[in-house]
């Protein structure tokens, strides 16, 4: 996966210390394989949006929504992630 994110909230005092919303676009390369004869490429461009909430210095909670950008008759796939992150 490769993504570029942009934090969209301008500095608004104390709110910016607690909320960091972002949007992003990227590409995921992947494939599925079942046995020897069945395989499918599942690579796609993806858009996403999320929110980081700092807990203490270097540790944050993060929630994120991702969706594929369909080409022609492709199905749209959606993912919601939540997690704990660390920054150095």
Q: Is the pLDDT of residue 57 over 90?
A: no
Give pLDDT, residue 13. Answer: 75
Q: Is the pLDDT of residue 25 over 90?
A: yes
Kindly state the helix (H) or strand (E) to which residue 14 belongs, with its residue range: helix 14-18
Instruction: Please state the pTM of the whole predicted model.
Output: 0.74
Q: Is the pLDDT of residue 33 over 90?
A: no
The SS3 assignment for 83 reads strand
């Amino acid at each position: 996966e490769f993504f570029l994110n942009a934090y969209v909230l301008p500095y608004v005092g104390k709110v910016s210390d607690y909320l960091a919303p972002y949007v992003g676009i990227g590409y995921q390369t992947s494939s599925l394989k079942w046995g020897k004869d069945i395989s499918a490429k599942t690579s796609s461009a993806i858009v996403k949006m999320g929110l980081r909430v700092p807990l203490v210095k270097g540790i944050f909670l993060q929630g994120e929504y991702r969706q594929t950008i369909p080409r022609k008759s492709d199905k749209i796939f959606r993912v919601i992630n939540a997690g704990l992150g660390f920054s150095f």
